[in-house]
Amino acid sequence: MERKKDFEALYRKNLELTKKQVREAVNEDLLIIQAISSVGDIDKTANLLSKRLREWFALYNPELEHRVKEHEEFVKLVIAQNEKKADDSMGKSFEKEDFGQILSLAGHINSLYELRQQYFNYLEKILKKYCPSVLAITGPIIGAKLFGHAGSLRKLAVLPSSTIQLLGAEKALFRHLQTRGRAKSPKHGILSQHPVMGKVKFKEHGKAARVLADKISLAARIDYFKGQYAGDKLRKEIEEKFGKWE
């Protein structure tokens, strides 16, 4: 009888300990990773549906579909057009119900873009609080993607800058190693999306990625160990080399 009571007491104690550990395991790192994963899912879905909308709308107004290349802008123009099209358009005139289905799809896609902006704002807010120095260099999306690949701020802080430079290029690196150098070694991964990369010549991409990775590595250590904010200083050092970015 006493053994049964002891077992029940031990069970309750272990259960409470497990609950506590689960609660403590949910931190900013996981929130950031879930949010950026949702952004990725939204991007894939919105891109797929936007292509479908373009094909459908081209039956009605092919000129507008060809003129506007950016998906989000195109969706907004479809909604704003609302059955109005140029008289000289070569597209077919649709019945109200038929065009209504196109508008319905455009409305749902637009909602996805609005949700993406909501997550963007959320990521910016949480990163500003959790790792402001990293945010100043990377922006919300790239910073969150680095978290997703590294696993946490702690892991990002202990990674060498050379590894940070290649985060997101794991497949290309594996291909390079697998082919024993026949496939080119990647120069950068996620950092290829950084605005700085669009400001420099292609042959300078490797250099720019190294500088970015070095500053991000330093910023991550500062943020993780709760050092004094250095985002503006680190960003200025990058801008002095490659120019300012938004």
Which two tokens mark 245?
A: 């970015």
What would the mean pLDDT of 223-227 be, rounded to a whole number?
94
Q: Is the pTM of this model over 0.85?
A: no
Higher pLDDT, 76 or 90: 76
**Backbone φ and ψ of 227, nearest 5°:** -80, 180
Among 11-15, 52-56, 100-104, 240-244, the minimum mean pLDDT is found in 11-15
Q: What percent of the chain has pLDDT over 90?
A: 65
> What are the structural domains of the chain?
1-130 (1.10.287.4070), 132-246 (1.10.246.90)
Q: What percent of the chain has pLDDT over 70?
A: 82
| 19 pLDDT tier (thresholds 50, 70, 90) | low
- Does residue 83 carry a pLDDT above 60? no
- Does residue 106 carry a pLDDT above 70? yes
Burial class (CB in 10 A: 0-12, 13-18, 19+), 122: middle
SS3 content of the chain, % helix, strand, coil (to 5): 75, 0, 25
> Which among 52, 96, 99 is positioned nearest to 79, based on CA atoms?
99
Could you tell me if 165 and 191 are in contact, meaning their C-beta atoms sit under 8 angstroms apart? Answer: yes
The amino acid at residue 98 is D
What would the mean pLDDT of 222-228 be, rounded to a whole number?
95
- Does residue 241 carry a pLDDT above 60? yes
- Does residue 225 carry a pLDDT above 90? yes
